[in-house]
Amino acid sequence: AQRVTQPEKLLSVFKGAPVELKCNYSYSGSPELFWYVQYSRQRLQLLLRHISRESIKGFTADLNKGETSFHLKKPFAQEEDSAMYYCALSEQRNYGGSQGNLIFGKGTKLSVKP
Amino acid sequence: NAGVTQTPKFQVLKTGQSMTLQCAQDMNHEYMSWYRQDPGMGLRLIHYSVGAGITDQGEVPNGYNVSRSTTEDFPLRLLSAAPSQTSVYFCASSSDRVSRYNSPLHFGNGTRLTVT
């Protein structure tokens, strides 16, 4: 069964320190992976997706199929990065095409201290 | 554009009461879904719809009903509320009915529901 695991509920770092939010997945096919972020009092929004290989707000994430991981990294954390981060995997079912429902991990709360 | 609008923002129910959480989007999105967010559990899919007249169950559908009579609206009904349904509910939509890659999910602001 498809599953997304975020092992850390809370990650606390100091401003300027590197940060890595871990995400591991279990999926039998070719995964589509995403990171969503929820800042305080804001709605959940897409941060980045693996297929784009982009860097958003200094964050990057590389899909490692061998380790089935999609860790989110930033070399120098900022206070405004404090938020709840969710790793998500797009589900595919063969109903004549993929359904694409997202399966979310349990989330990691990142706290960046001054 | 308002995007995805959820009402109400907060609601308190007594066990056994019924209510409908409203969700509307003005982006002409085909795909809509409902998630619940619980501490330590992340977001879990309740129901989803890939277009008007089409709905299907997600991971945790028990106790909830949905309908999709129009493209814009996707209400979530609790027929007989239970304390276990205390949660924050998020509605989300996407223009791509088959893959979230091409068009990611757009979320509403959420409805915080307490069942006593």
Burial of B9 per CB tally in 10 Å (0-12, 13-18, 19+)? exposed
In the DSSP assignment, the letter for residue B39 is T
Q: What is the distance between the alpha carbons of residues B57 and B12, in angstroms, rounded to a whole number?
A: 25
The mean pLDDT value for B35-52 works out to 92
Minimal Cβ distance to B107: which of A44, A99, A100: A44
| pLDDT 10s digits, A56-114 | 899 999 889 899 999 999 999 999 999 999 999 987 654 444 457 888 999 999 999 99
| pLDDT 10s digits, B51-80 | 999 999 999 999 999 999 999 999 999 999
Give the position of tokens 């997945």: A25
Q: What is the distance between the alpha carbons of residues B78 and B18, in angstroms, rounded to a whole number?
A: 5
Nearest CA in chain B to A107: B42
Contact assignment for A100 to B101 by CB distance below 8 Å? yes
| pLDDT 10s digits, A35-64 | 999 999 899 999 998 877 788 899 999 889
Average pLDDT, chain B: 92
pLDDT score of A92: 62
**pLDDT grade for B99, boundaries at 50, 70 and 90:** low
pLDDT score of A95: 45
Q: What is the distance between the alpha carbons of residues B27 and B30, in angstroms, rounded to a whole number?
A: 9
Give the position of tokens 């109400």: B8
How many beta-carbon pairs under 8 angstroms link A with B? Answer: 65
| pLDDT 10s digits, A12-28 | 999 999 999 999 999 87
Q: What is the distance between the alpha carbons of residues B73 and B65, in angstroms, rounded to a whole number?
A: 14
Shortest CA gap B13–chain A (Å): 23
- Which 24-43 residues of chain A touch chain B by CB within 8 A? 32, 34, 36, 43
pLDDT score of B1: 64
| Substitution target from A106, A108, A109 for chain B, most B beta carbons within 10 A | A106
Minimal Cβ distance to B98: which of A36, A99, A104: A99
Shortest CA gap A41–chain B (Å): 8
* Residue, of B97 and A4, whose pLDDT is higher: A4
pLDDT score of A34: 92
Shortest CA gap B92–chain A (Å): 9
